């Protein structure tokens, strides 16, 4: 196991694409210290930014102790292994990852799990905006894997999602699952408006509250429970909305009946 500790409080964003288990594998401490990172627009070495130590424990492959909320692209393209961050993580954490596990014992920055294809990201604090959303303009977002957030996430999360599962134990901001095509999003607390706008497929399960469902969704039925993934089932009852009809979509939004009495006017359409 490699242990990284920030040497200072970072003033500029650090781009550290090298912090992945694959990149670290088989390298000595001295070699790791030579890896290239960017601090602002200056090229630096990993050893200039972090104290690098070897720990005899086998897992996780990389542990980061301290606040790295200015360090971006940790775990980019990782395929295997495990990273544990004891502190806040920066933007683009686990971008394009296709396997392995990242645990954040703190908050994570924007675009966490962007373009993710597989693997697991666990955030024990809050997520931020653009969780699991792809680069701007891209029509394919998260395609697989699992993201679990203990806290809340910001706006525009899971845009254009094409697969995988996101579980949020707190709340979510506006435009959750915009344009999603497939996959599952499960939110336990309050969700902002316009959830599922332009969605074409997939399901959004809202166990908490939501002010309103977009008018381009139609109510389909009331279901007592809904499956989130192999290990978890959410119990309702839930209103099931179909849409986004403006996009001829067949996505489903499940909204908890008990927490959203303002939606019971829809029942007359059943």
Partner 1 sequence: MTELLIKNGFVFDPINGINGEKMDIAIKNGKIVEKIHEHHGKTIDATGLTIMPGGVDIHTHVAGGEVNMGRIVRPEDHVKDVVAKTPLTRSGVGYSIPSTFVTGYRYSQMGYTTVMNPSMAPLEAKHTHEELNDIPLLDKATYPLIGDWWFVLEYLRKGDLEGCARHVAWMLETTKGYAIKIVNPGGLESWGFGRNVHSIDDEVPNFCITPREIIVGLAKVNKMLNLPHTIHLHTNNLGIPGNYATTLETMKALESVPSDGKPVGHITHLQFSSFGGDGWGNMCSAAEEISKYINAHSHMTFDMGQIIFTDTTTMTADGPFEYTLYQLSGHKWVNSDVETETSGGIIPFHYKKNNAVNATQWSIGLELALMITDPWKMFMTTDHPNGGPFFAYPKIVAWLISNKARMATLKKCHKKAQKKSLLTSINRELSLYELAIVTRAGQAKALGLKNKGHLGVGADADIAIYNINPETIDIARKYKTVRRAFGKAAYTIKDGKIVVKDGEVVQHADGRTMWVDVETTEKLQVDEEMKLKFRQYWTVEFDNYPVLDHYVKVKDPITVKASI
**Sites for partner 1 among residues 108-147 (CB under 8 A):** 134-139
Tokens of 30: 């001295």
In the complex with partner 1, the residue whose CB is nearer, 236 or 243, is: 243
CB of 179 to partner 1, least distance (A): 10
Question: What is the residue-wise DSSP string for 32-44?
Answer: HHT-EEEETTEEE
If binding is defined by CB under 8 A, does position 235 make contact with partner 1? no
In the complex with partner 1, the residue whose CB is nearer, 10 or 135, is: 135
In the complex with partner 1, the residue whose CB is nearer, 43 or 233, is: 43
Contact between 228 and 204 (Cβ < 8 Å): no
Interface size with partner 1, residues (CB under 8 A): 6
CB of 227 to partner 1, least distance (A): 28
CB of 200 to partner 1, least distance (A): 9
In the complex with partner 1, the residue whose CB is nearer, 61 or 114, is: 114
Site string for partner 1, 33-52 (x = CB under 8 A): --------------------
> Which of 117, 215, 102, 126 minimizes the C-alpha distance to 161?
117
Contact between 128 and 147 (Cβ < 8 Å): no
Can you give the binding site for partner 1, defined by CB under 8 A?
A: 134-139
């Amino acid at each position: 196991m490699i242990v990284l500790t920030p040497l200072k409080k970072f003033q500029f964003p650090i781009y550290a694409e090298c912090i992945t288990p694959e990149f670290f594998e088989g390298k000595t401490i001295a070699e790791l210290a030579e890896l290239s990172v960017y601090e602002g627009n200056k090229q630096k070495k990993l050893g200039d930014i972090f104290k690098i130590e070897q720990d005899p424990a086998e897992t996780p492959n990389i542990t980061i102790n301290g606040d790295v909320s200015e360090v971006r692209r940790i775990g980019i393209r990782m395929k295997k292994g495990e990273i544990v961050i004891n502190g806040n993580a920066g933007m683009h954490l686990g971008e394009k990852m296709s396997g392995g596990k990242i645990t954040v014992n703190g908050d994570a920055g924007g675009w966490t799990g962007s373009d993710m294809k597989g693997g697991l990201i666990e955030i024990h604090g809050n997520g931020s905006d653009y969780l699991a959303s792809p680069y701007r303009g891209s029509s394919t977002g998260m395609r697989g894997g699992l993201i679990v957030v203990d806290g809340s996430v910001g706006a525009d999360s899971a845009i254009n999602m094409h697969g995988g599962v996101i579980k949020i134990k707190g709340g979510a901001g506006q435009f959750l699952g915009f344009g999603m095509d497939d996959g599952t999003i499960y939110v336990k607390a309050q969700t902002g408006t316009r959830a599922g706008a332009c969605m074409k497929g997939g399901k959004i399960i809202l166990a908490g509250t939501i002010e309103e469902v977009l008018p381009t969704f139609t109510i389909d039925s009331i279901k007592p429970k809904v499956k989130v993934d192999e290990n978890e089932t959410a119990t309702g009852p839930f209103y099931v909305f179909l849409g986004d009809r403006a996009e001829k979509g067949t996505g489903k939004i499940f909204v908890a009946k008990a927490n959203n009495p303002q939606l019971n006017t829809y029942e007359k359409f059943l």
